[in-house]
Structure 1
Amino acid sequence: MSVPPSDILLVGATGLIGRAVIAVAAGRRLTILARRPMDDVPERHALLVAPPERWADMIAAERPPVLVCCLGTTIRQAGSQAAFRAVDHDLILSAARGARLGGATQMIVVSAVGASAQSRNFYLRTKGETEDGLRALGFARLDIMRPGLLTGERAGPPRLGEGIASAVAPVTDVLLRGSLRRYRSIPAAVVARAIGALAGQGGPGVHIHENDSMRRLAD
Structure 2
Amino acid sequence: MKACIFRYSGKMHKERGSGLAPWPQRLTAAPPRLEEIGVSPEEFHEDTNIWRFRVIEYWKQMMSVIQKNSIRNVMDMNSYLGGFAAALNEKDVWVMNVAPVNVSARLKIIYDRGLVGTVHDWCEAFSTYPRTYDLLHAWEVFSEIAERGCNAEDLLIEMDRILRPDGLVIIRDKPAVINYIRKFLTALKWDGWLSEVEPMVDALSSSDERVLIARKKLWDEGISVM
TM range (shorter): 0.3 to 0.5
- Larger relative contact order (C-alpha < 8 A, sep ≥ 6)? 1
TM-score by length of 2: 0.45
TM-score by length of 1: 0.46
Structure with greater strand share of residues: 2
Name which one, 1 or 2, has greater alpha-carbon Rg: 2
